[in-house]
Structure 1
Amino acid sequence: MLAQSLLLGISASLVFCPPLGVVLRHMPHRRGLAMGLTIGGSSIGGIVWPIMLQQLLNKNNVSFGWTIRAVAFTMMPLLAFACFTIVEPVKKTALAANPSPVQDGGEAPGSLKGNATNDPSEKKLGSRDFLKKPTYMLLCAGLALAYLGLFTPLFYISSYAIAQGQAESTAFYLLSAVNASSFFGRVVPGHLADVAGHYNLLTIFTLLSGLIGFTWTKATSLAGLIVWGLAYGFTSGAVMSLQGACAGKIAPPQHQGLAVGFLMGCLSIA
């Protein structure tokens, strides 16, 4: 309980949230694509871990303790890479990329101190004024409501497949298939959202996830489970990547991390 629940929960939050704010500051013009690629990394992990656990626990009969240690040894270099490579944007780099002169006491367009884009929703606000904006509060509340059911299929699709007569190994690989589809769901809609609108795409894919979720019990054969899993993985993946882009769109550049972190805090309750 202490290791898997308390320690893992705290450490995962510390690892997950801050880099998202840094990425948003690096790529303000391509929020959707940036979040899709960043969050898509967790989908790659979601493909690898079920297969790795299946091979160690069931095929090679490795003990649970050493299986978890193998997971830890695999994660350590990945986390070390993240610690050394995730850096804040340098102000002078932004100024060099945008050498336009500063006029009338204003700030250079590329300066991190000022606006990074011309989006009126990103006008510089007070320190935390964006937290009081109705748009942000509704975003947190709406996504928290969606998250009451969004992860349920991901947690139970393996158990459901076994209950439908599928082998345990097949059930494990089914979870990997869902995560593979989720990778494309996080990247492709994120890229499209930079043109069509982040909130527009988030609304559409949240509704689609709900509709597909209601058809879950109709998937009883292996083929049906695969098709359903791929469809749900794609739509739910889009929700997970677009939420950060939507939160970052409201907050000023210097508070991208706070915007994502507060949103994730609301979702963690759900």
Structure 2
Amino acid sequence: MDPTKEGDICTVDQAAPSDNEKSDDSQTLVDSEHSSSFPEGGWRAWLVVLGAWCAIFPTMGIMNLYGLLEDWLAEHQLHGYSKASISWIFSLWLFFFYLGGIQIGPIFDAHGARYLLVPGCIGMTLSMMFLSVSHAYYQFILGFSILGGLSASAVYTPSAACITHWFLKKRGLATGIATTGGGIGGIIFTNVFGILSNKIGFPWTIRILGFIFLASLMVSLLTLEARLPPSPSAGSKIDIRALKEPVFTMTSIAVIFAEIGLIVLVTYYPSYAQSHGITGALSYQLMTIMSATSIFGRVIPGLLADIWGRFNVMFGTCAICTILSFGLWFTAGTDRARILAFAALIGFWSGPAISLTPVCVAQISKTESYGKRFGTTIAMMAFALLVAIPVAGEILKGQNRGTVETEYSGLIGFCGAAYAGACLFLFLAKGASVGWRVTKVF
């Protein structure tokens, strides 16, 4: 088989014939993407999904700890710092996590996955060790935010890219299964932290998490592999020319807004619950509930996306997140049932913000250049999140001049607006690609 044909995924221009040329609504882009060259299964392809799962397990799973870590640091090591200041630690982690993709993506295309996985695995483990002994603000920034974020990027980006090499028609399902690692990681990590931090202390709790990370990352190191051979001749240069494509730019903006909505939820919902009467173990369990429902929210929409269209499903789930934010969270107050119900529902419907983001970018990219293009998207996400989390913190601070933060309406509005923005740009990206008919599969 000609390897040049294996990676010949169509671009938007190739994949978006006019309505007159393509009248069958069930026809999807994958039909013109040389689907016969993709394995779509088999033990080797599913081992790659396992490797991606083990890579996403720590890199995405740790994000579910942000709210709990922020509360802990505010009460202990960084007592006296405002939550807005402490949030910069996690905002910078996310910044370097996503920013690294702009260079890591091209390196993946040119040199393959293991070239990045080895330093990434070592760096993530060392970062957790540094976190366990940090006491000063700058130590958290250097050891956790910078080292941890860049190392996680070197692990996550190849995991997302490798799946696109092995799956096309089933790409949504395969990516959805792999990203359940983040949800399961969230359940395990929040419970480990919630149970052990008060029993054995913060340092050893973080070290135990670090050992769990290392075991998982070793599996990904052994199983993650690209199907197409590395192409050193393509170079490892940053690719920003993709931003000249309106559809690519609008898609990137859409998934960035969806990510902002999700990160605001993960970071601030635990503190919202605690300030509204959810205390003790139940406050930790809220993130477990959200993580548990997000597992189904990554697999089921991923499966449906392969049938109904990736952009269509992403739009629908973001629209529901907008409704839940303005409708249920905004009116929850101290109603325990509503707080728990929102955690369960938003966990499910926000799941595709993780699982379908790489799939949507892959749909408008060629496989051999996917690393560069996905890296460009998540690098843009890095700058957006660098600002978004502190802005959310300042909104919260501005509405609560006292010592107790109980007014969250501005923060909730910010979260809902982010999801609404995602809907808008997904709608525009689809319209510019295949027309404005709602029933068009895309």
Identity of aligned residues (%): 30
1:28 counterpart residue number = 168
1:172 counterpart residue number = 284
Q: How do 1:43-62 and structure 2 match up within 5 A?
A: 43-58=183-198, 60=199, 62=200
Q: Secondary structure at the match of 2:307?
A: helix
Q: Deviations over 1:42-96 (max 9, x none)?
A: 11101111100011113x2x221111111101110100110110012267xxxxx
Q: Residue 30 of structure 1: CA displacement?
A: 1.1
Q: Is the contact between residue 172 and residue 310 of structure 2 (CA under 8 Å) also seen in structure 1?
A: yes
1:203 counterpart residue number = 315
2:251 counterpart residue number = 139
Q: Is the contact between residue 216 and residue 228 of structure 1 (CA under 8 Å) also seen in structure 2?
A: yes
1:88 counterpart residue number = 226
2:263 counterpart residue number = 151
Q: Residue 263 of structure 1: CA displacement?
A: 1.6
Opposite residue 28 of structure 1, the aligned amino acid is L
Name the CA distance, whole Å, in 1 between partners of 2:348 and 2:382.
22
Q: Residue 179 of structure 1: CA displacement?
A: 0.7
Q: How do 1:221-232 and structure 2 match up within 5 A?
A: 221-232=335-346
Which ranges of structure 1 fall in alignment gaps of 5 or more residues? 92-111, 114-126
* Residues 128, 22 of structure 1: alpha-carbon distance in 2 compared, 3 angstrom cutoff: farther
Q: Is the contact between residue 35 and residue 241 of structure 1 (CA under 8 Å) also seen in structure 2?
A: yes
1:252 counterpart residue number = 366
Name the CA distance, whole Å, in 2 between partners of 1:185 and 1:146.
14
Q: Is the contact between residue 22 and residue 256 of structure 1 (CA under 8 Å) also seen in structure 2?
A: no
Size of the aligned set, in residue pairs, is 235
Opposite residue 63 of structure 1, the aligned amino acid is G
Which ranges of structure 2 fall in alignment gaps of 5 or more residues? 1-140, 232-238, 385-442
Greater CA drift, 130-139 or 63-72:
130-139
Name the CA distance, whole Å, in 2 between partners of 1:82 and 1:147.
24
* Normalised TM-score (structure 1): 0.81
Opposite residue 278 of structure 2, the aligned amino acid is Q
Q: Secondary structure at the match of 2:170?
A: helix
Name the CA distance, whole Å, in 2 between partners of 1:153 and 1:130.
30
Name the CA distance, whole Å, in 2 between partners of 1:44 and 1:148.
21
Q: Residue 131 of structure 1: CA displacement?
A: 4.8
1:217 counterpart residue number = 330
Which of 136, 152, 159 is equivalent to 1:12? 152
Name the CA distance, whole Å, in 2 between partners of 1:34 and 1:259.
20
* Normalised TM-score (structure 2): 0.51
Name the CA distance, whole Å, in 2 between partners of 1:128 and 1:194.
28
Name the CA distance, whole Å, in 1 between partners of 2:373 and 2:169.
17
Which of 383, 393, 398 is equivalent to 1:269? 383
Q: Is the contact between residue 177 and residue 298 of structure 2 (CA under 8 Å) also seen in structure 1?
A: yes
Q: Residue 143 of structure 1: CA displacement?
A: 2.3
Opposite residue 330 of structure 2, the aligned amino acid is T
